[in-house]
Amino acid sequence: MTALQAGFSSRRETNPPDKWRLCTLAGRTHLSVSQSGSTPRMDYVPCEYQQQVLEYVENYRQARDILKAVCAINRELLRRRQRL
């Protein structure tokens, strides 16, 4: 986590959010991963693993949302200068 994400700076983060999604390319399913600061990747996903990969991507999204909520709480606590 960067200082910008933790709320220690008033400057806004300008990088786009991470994107994970399944897509079809030439009749084959691939996982497309785009993260700020790195080159986008596409990895082949065999048919038997597609459901598992979908679950992993959903878990990633849920974990990211939880971390965003925790960061917002921490920013508010820092703003108030309160301890846990």
pTM: 0.62
Instruction: Give per-residue pLDDT as tens, 18-67.
Output: 677 878 878 888 888 888 888 888 889 998 898 999 899 899 889 999 99
Q: Give the separation between CA 16 and CA 13, rounded to whole angstroms.
A: 8
39: phi then psi, degrees, rounded to nearest 5 = -75, 135
pLDDT band at 6 (very low <50, low <70, confident <90, very high): very low
CA 81 vs. chain centroid, Å, equals 28
Q: What is the pLDDT of residue 21?
A: 81
Q: 39: phi > 0 → left, psi -120 to 50 → alpha, else beta; which?
A: beta
Instruction: Give per-residue pLDDT as tens, 49-58.
Output: 989 998 998 9
pLDDT band at 72 (very low <50, low <70, confident <90, very high): very high
Neighbours of 75 (CB within 10 A): 14
